[in-house]
Amino acid sequence: MADIIDGRAIARQLDEKTKAEVDALVAAGHPAPGLTVILVGDDGASQVYVRRKIKSCEKVGIRSNEHRLPADTSQEDLLALIDQLNRDPEVHGILCQVPLPDHIDTRLVLRSITPEKDVDGFHPVNVGRLSTGTGGIVPCTPLGVMMLIHSVIPDLTGMDAVVIGKSNIVGKPVANLLLDAEATVTVTHIYTHGLPAICRKADVIVAAAGAPELVKGDWVKEGAVIIDVGITRIMDEETGKERLVGDVAFDECQHAKAITPVPGGVGPMTIACLLANTVQAAKGLMGVNKDVSSDYHDVPSRSMFTGNGNIPNE
């Protein structure tokens, strides 16, 4: 039987670490880190997510603040609010819940959050820093994925990792983090030929395709570690009830070394990583050095100009 990687338990441990960091900051005379969440419109799911984030902040001692704006808020007004929050020294993290209404340019809005407060890690500067292994804020889900992998494989050096899906929010950043951890990384996607054979060679599979039960048991080699980022609601034909499934045929993969369940695997890590990112952002803005949440906030500063023996900028 494969070990189940318990995302809820690992998220709880991370929350405890985060809470300890917050307490230490406050004990040292700093203000508690502060997260501001912006919600535009009244999308039901978004309201649930925002409420959950706010509640999670309370648990670890992060001050939180919610701006609810009507669905017809102009882009100008939203940008003005973000500008104000960027300059507010009491705000350390800014999260603008997506999706935004259609009349608003989502990418422009997310790019207007100052990178130092961009706790989602979506700003091009943070993406660039992640890509070059030069620090910055790492997006929550990829950060959580790496923590789950490291809970069973402390050292990924030379391991074969396969990432299924090349989205900007999961696949690509996970691939970068795996490379930073010295794994050999193959990124696959909808146009990939021979995906089963590619997966069969992998020591680590990160499935982030959004395709229910795409990865079958015979795609997985004995002893592999599987992280399932997918989550899709499907109708169970036998029971006639809806259920959540991942990108991996979980029951068929008991010969794996370890596997994340859906739900209860990657999902719970995301908010825990958001909280950790908020504390990291606060410490950066306060000039407090050592970071709290993970090695990924502390990627060794590799020179832009090492590693391939070529003369750059020739």
Residue placing its CB nearer to a copy of itself in the complex, 25 or 226: 226
Residue 171 in the binding site for a copy of itself (CB under 8 A)? yes
Active-site residue identified among 17, 97, 172, 247: 97
Q: Is 280 annotated in the active site? A: no
Helix (H) or strand (E) holding 47: helix 44-60
DSSP 74-123: -HHHHHHHHHHHHH-TT--EEEE-SPPPTTS-HHHHHHHS-GGGBTT--S
Piece of 72-80, 122-130, 217-225, 287-295 that binds a copy of itself (CB under 8 A) = 122-130
Residue 85 in the binding site for a copy of itself (CB under 8 A)? no
Alpha-helical (H) ranges within 1-43 are 7-27
# residues near a copy of itself by CB under 8 A: 74
Residue placing its CB nearer to a copy of itself in the complex, 122 or 250: 122
Instruction: Find the binding residues for a copy of itself in span 295-314 (CB under 8 A).
Output: 302-314
Q: Least distance from C-beta 296 to a copy of itself, angstroms?
A: 16
Q: Measured between alpha carbons, how far is 138 from 133 in angstroms, rounded to an integer?
A: 10
List, as residue ranges, the binding site: 165-167, 190, 231
Q: Least distance from C-beta 79 to a copy of itself, angstroms?
A: 17
Q: What is the DSSP letter of 311?
A: P
Instruction: Find the binding residues for a copy of itself in span 25-64 (CB under 8 A).
Output: 45, 49
Residue 132 in the binding site for a copy of itself (CB under 8 A)? yes
Bridge partners, residue 243, by sequence: 234
Bridge partners, residue 161, by sequence: 185, 204
Q: Which long-range contacts (CB under 8 A, 24 or more apart) does 241-247 make?
A: 245/212, 245/213, 246/207, 246/212, 246/213, 247/164, 247/207, 247/208, 247/209, 247/210, 247/211, 247/212, 247/213, 247/214, 247/215
Piece of 3-11, 70-78, 118-126, 287-295 that binds a copy of itself (CB under 8 A) = 118-126
Q: Is 254 annotated in the active site? A: no
Residue placing its CB nearer to a copy of itself in the complex, 216 or 302: 302
Residue 13 in the binding site for a copy of itself (CB under 8 A)? no
φ/ψ of 232, rounded to 5, equals -135, 140
Residue placing its CB nearer to a copy of itself in the complex, 33 or 171: 171
Tokens 């909280």 correspond to what residue? Answer: 275
Residue placing its CB nearer to a copy of itself in the complex, 178 or 259: 178
Tokens 């923590």 correspond to what residue? Answer: 147
Start-to-end CA span in the chain (Å): 54
List, as residue ranges, the binding site for NADP(+): 165-167, 190, 231
Residue 210 in the binding site for a copy of itself (CB under 8 A)? yes
Q: Least distance from C-beta 157 to a copy of itself, angstroms?
A: 5
Residue 182 in the binding site for a copy of itself (CB under 8 A)? yes
Q: Is 75 annotated in the active site? A: no
Q: Measured between alpha carbons, how far is 1 from 252 in angstroms, rounded to an integer?
A: 10
Active-site residue identified among 15, 120, 228, 247: 120
Q: Just list the catalytic residues.
A: 53, 97, 120
